[in-house]
């Protein structure tokens, strides 16, 4: 029986879609004993119905955990109703975890990637998008060594982010949001599921980054050298 | 069914005899203007002879050359191309011998390459003056998508 601990950080457009897919897979995977922890400090509101999958208003981690528990009773579930930051990340991500990072700011990506560099074993699958395109990055550490580049290695915009953590933003800043397409969020979530299956279930690292473009209908996987 | 034809036997026949064999005995069309070795391979293939299937296996097209001038003289029909990508945009371009910086400028609009984008050849960062060779694969880094929540 394979034992895995999964953390899904961010339960918005990408995370709320991803969560249901991963939960369904794990619930019916007879040879996997899994724990699923959902992490988000944000709240579901009426305006989120357009792109995000949830059943009622409230803290995203708590609501989504309840939804998953009702639908997939075989899973061991937990939730953490706060945004990730430097202070609490040590309580959230543990050695050996598989982490899905579905956030909307590079500062959280940078904090998470840098923290993971201190763990002996971790699989970090991070997804993000713009209006019609996006990418998924894979960072794997095993036995204290990088198997793939970390999120910052080839992305200076993540290594040195100009954006802020959600808890650092003013109400006005939080109210502003760039438009997104539901279908593009679904592309990101689906590719993250595919990466999870390849790496965790099939033990294959095919690429460290995957780009997609919904307008061009193209997907490109890239492997890069460790720095 | 035992193979009826061997390469040795067929090579002892002239081209006219081989072509007649194709048309009359084997019903193989389209070989009247082909070279002798091509006709022999076709006969052996039709006969299920392992002699030709072994010969054909292992021929791999590595995808670095494109037939751009089919009517040109032998040896001048193809152009060597190199795969260049930026994000999910990719293409094969005749840029062998060009520097990474030149290619970035040349393909800026085609592949939406940012002016400050780093070039990677075969997965490793290179300087702008690196000259591309046959077999290289060039990637210009595209910034990571920021949104998702």
| Nearest of A46, A50, A54, A52 to residue A13 by alpha carbon | A52
Q: Report CB contact under 8 Å: A128, B123.
A: no
Average pLDDT over residues B104-120: 92
pLDDT band at B90 (very low <50, low <70, confident <90, very high): very high
Say yes or no: A51 contacts chain B, CB-CB below 8 A.
no
Average pLDDT over residues B80-104: 94
Average pLDDT over residues B115-121: 91
| Nearest of A130, A146, A86 to residue A138 by alpha carbon | A146
Which positions 98-157 of A are in contact with B (Cβ < 8 Å)? 102-106, 109, 127-130, 133-135, 137, 151, 154-155, 157
| Nearest of A32, A190, A20, A165 to residue A89 by alpha carbon | A165
pLDDT at B60: 43
pLDDT at B64: 63
User: Parallel, antiparallel, or unpaired for β A32-39 and A43-44?
Assistant: unpaired
Q: Report CB contact under 8 Å: B88, A106.
A: no
Distance CA A214, CA A132 (A): 6
CB atoms within 10 A of CB A107: 19
Among B88, B114, B117, which would you mutate to test the A interface (most chain A Cβ atoms within 10 Å of its Cβ)?
B88
CB atoms within 10 A of CB A77: 17
Look up tokens 């011998």; give the residue. Answer: B97
**Contact present, A224 and B119 (Cβ < 8 Å):** no
Q: What total number of domains does chain A contain?
A: 1
Q: Which CATH number fits domain B79-140: 3.30.390.10, 3.40.50.2020, 3.10.20.30, 3.40.50.720?
A: 3.10.20.30
Q: Report CB contact under 8 Å: A135, B145.
A: yes
Paired tokens of B120: 């990677």
Q: Look up the CATH number of the domain holding residue A110.
A: 3.40.50.720
Helix, strand, or coil (residue A212):
strand
- What stretches in chain A show pLDDT beneath 50? none
What rounded mean pLDDT belongs to chain B? 83
Distances A134 to A3, A40, A104, A210, A222 between C-alpha atoms, Å: 31, 21, 12, 9, 14
* Pick from A163, A220, A227: CB nearest B88: A220
The reply to whether A227 falls in a domain is: no
Q: Report CB contact under 8 Å: B88, A102.
A: no
Q: Report CB contact under 8 Å: A128, B124.
A: no
Q: Which residues of B touch A108 (CB under 8 A)?
A: none
Angle at A13 between CA A11 and CA A15, to 5 degrees: 35
pLDDT at B2: 56
* Pick from B87, B144, B148: CB nearest A102: B148
Q: Which residues of B touch A10 (CB under 8 A)?
A: 148-149
The reply to whether A213 falls in a domain is: yes
Answer whether residue B48 shows pLDDT above 90. Answer: no
* Pick from A10, A134, A220: CB nearest B145: A134
Boundaries of domain holding A165: 2-222
Backbone angles phi and psi of A112, in degrees to 5: -65, -45
Report the chain A residue with the minimal C-alpha distance to residue B125: A225
pLDDT digits (tens, 9 = 90+) for A121-145: 999 999 999 999 999 999 999 999 9
Q: Which residues of B touch A214 (CB under 8 A)?
A: none
Distances B121 to A89, A94, B109, B140, B146 between C-alpha atoms, Å: 35, 35, 20, 9, 25
pTM (predicted TM-score): 0.81
Which 3-state string (H, E, C) describes B74-89? CCCCEEECEEEEECCE
pLDDT at B59: 42
Question: Where are chain B's structural domains?
Answer: 7-56, 79-140
């Amino acid at each position: 029986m394979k034992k895995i601990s999964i953390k899904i950080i961010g339960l918005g457009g990408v995370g709320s879609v991803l969560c249901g897919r991963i939960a369904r897979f794990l619930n019916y995977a007879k040879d996997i004993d899994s724990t699923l922890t959902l992490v988000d400090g944000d709240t579901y509101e009426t305006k989120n119905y357009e792109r995000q999958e949830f059943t009622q208003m409230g803290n995203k981690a708590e609501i989504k955990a309840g939804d998953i528990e009702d639908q997939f009773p075989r899973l061991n579930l937990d939730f953490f109703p706060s945004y990730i930051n430097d202070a609490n990340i040590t309580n959230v991500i543990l050695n050996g975890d598989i982490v899905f990072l579905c956030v909307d700011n590079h500062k959280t990506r940078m904090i998470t990637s840098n923290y993971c560099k201190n763990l002996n074993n971790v699989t970090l699958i991070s997804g993000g998008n713009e209006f019609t395109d996006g990418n998924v990055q894979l960072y794997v550490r095993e036995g204290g060594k990088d198997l793939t580049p970390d999120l910052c290695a080839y992305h200076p915009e993540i290594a040195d982010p100009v954006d802020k953590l959600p808890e650092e933003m003013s109400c006005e800043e939080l109210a502003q949001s760039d438009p997104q397409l539901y279908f593009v969020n679904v592309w990101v979530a689906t590719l993250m599921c595919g990466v999870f299956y390849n790496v965790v279930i099939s033990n294959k690292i095919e690429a460290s980054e995957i780009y997609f473009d919904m307008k061009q209908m193209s997907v490109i996987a890239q492997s890069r050298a460790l720095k | 069914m035992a193979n009826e034809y061997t390469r040795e036997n067929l090579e002892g026949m002239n081209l006219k005899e081989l072509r007649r064999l194709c048309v009359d005995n084997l019903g193989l069309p389209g070989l009247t203007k082909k070279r002798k070795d091509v006709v022999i391979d076709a006969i052996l293939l039709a006969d299920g002879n392992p002699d030709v299937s072994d010969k054909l296996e292992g021929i791999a097209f590595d995808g670095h050359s494109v037939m751009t001038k089919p009517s040109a003289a032998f040896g001048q029909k193809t152009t060597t191309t190199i795969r260049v990508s930026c994000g999910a945009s990719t293409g094969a371009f005749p840029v062998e011998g060009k520097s990474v910086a030149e290619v970035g400028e040349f393909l800026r609009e085609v592949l939406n390459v940012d002016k400050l984008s780093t070039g990677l050849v075969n997965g490793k960062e290179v300087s702008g003056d690196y000259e591309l060779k046959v077999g290289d694969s060039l990637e210009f880094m595209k910034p990571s998508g920021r949104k998702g929540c």
